[in-house]
Amino acid sequence: DAKTTQPPSMDCAEGRAANLPCNHSTISGNEYVYWYRQIHSQGPQYIIHGLKNNETNEMASLIITEDRKSSTLILPHATLRDTAVYYCIVRVGRGYNTDKLIFGTGTRLQVFP
Amino acid sequence: DTAVSQTPKYLVTQMGNDKSIKCEQNLGHDTMYWYKQDSKKFLKIMFSYNNKELIINETVPNRFSPKSPDKAHLNLHINSLELGDSAVYFCASSRVPGGGSPLHFGNGTRLTVT
């Protein structure tokens, strides 16, 4: 079972920031938070990941609360092409035989003009 | 160049047939995976390989047999195909196993069993 909880759907106006929340209250100390998205039926696309600190890259920012029980993915200026299903995933940090991404149902983000 | 490529993109076949899906990555990664996405859109891991060795076999029926001839390739062979095998199969790779190394996915193979 997925260790994360996300809202099933969200809307965002084009050009505005999209803030996608995720709860992971049972996360362990060595587990990373990952975000992927899937557009139509393409392969999941890696967005960003973090362990404890906030992270930013060219696609998005990841804000992780101090207790690490929740996080928010921020797309600073959403475009129509950001319409997709966004998955928040908790991934084990070590251990070859436990390394797997457990996908939940994700958040369907609809960006409208 | 595509980082993780799968062939074929679409595969339509009849029950009972045997088929293979090929996957290649040109990222120099050590670890490769197969994931399955069913009709309800749930993505679930099937196998992982590290340096050509099987690491995870997620209780997949033994009709499914992965094979890794080298680090850059992980193929999936399916025997005696069943209707329930219809799904999209995604190959992925990561630099190493473990939480700090992102997975990069291919664009999937849509398998339809009739």
Q: How confident is the model at residue A35 (pLDDT cuts 50, 70, 90)?
A: very high
What confidence score (pLDDT) does residue A94 get? 66
Section B8-28 average pLDDT: 97
The answer to whether the Cβ–Cβ distance between A32 and B106 falls below 8 Å is no
Q: How confident is the model at residue A17 (pLDDT cuts 50, 70, 90)?
A: very high
CA–CA dist B51, B72 (Å, integer): 9
Tens digits of residue pLDDT in A67-82: 999 999 999 999 999 9
Tens digits of residue pLDDT in B101-114: 899 999 999 999 99
Tens digits of residue pLDDT in B51-60: 888 888 887 8
SS3 content of chain A, % helix, strand, coil (to 5): 5, 45, 50
For residue B35, list chain A residues with Cβ-Cβ distance below 8 A.
Answer: 101
For residue B10, pLDDT over 80 is answered with yes
| Dihedral sign of CA atoms A9, A34, A3, B25 in order | positive
Q: How far is B59 from chain A (nearest CA, A)?
A: 13
Residues belonging to chain B with any Cβ–Cβ distance to chain A shorter than 8 Å: 4, 31, 33, 35, 37, 41-45, 48, 50, 55-56, 58, 88, 90, 92, 97-100, 102-108, 110
Section B39-65 average pLDDT: 88
Count Cβ atoms below 10 Å from residue B27 Cβ, excluding itself: 12
What confidence score (pLDDT) does residue A28 get? 86
CA–CA dist A45, A59 (Å, integer): 11
Structure-token match 């080298």, residue found: B70
CA–CA dist B41, B43 (Å, integer): 6
Beta bridge partners of A86: A37, A107
For residue A7, pLDDT over 80 is answered with yes
Cis status of the peptide bond prior to B66, with omega within 30 of 0: no
| Inter-chain contacts counted by CB atoms under 8 A, chains A and B | 73
The two three-digit tokens of residue A82, written as one number = 């950001």
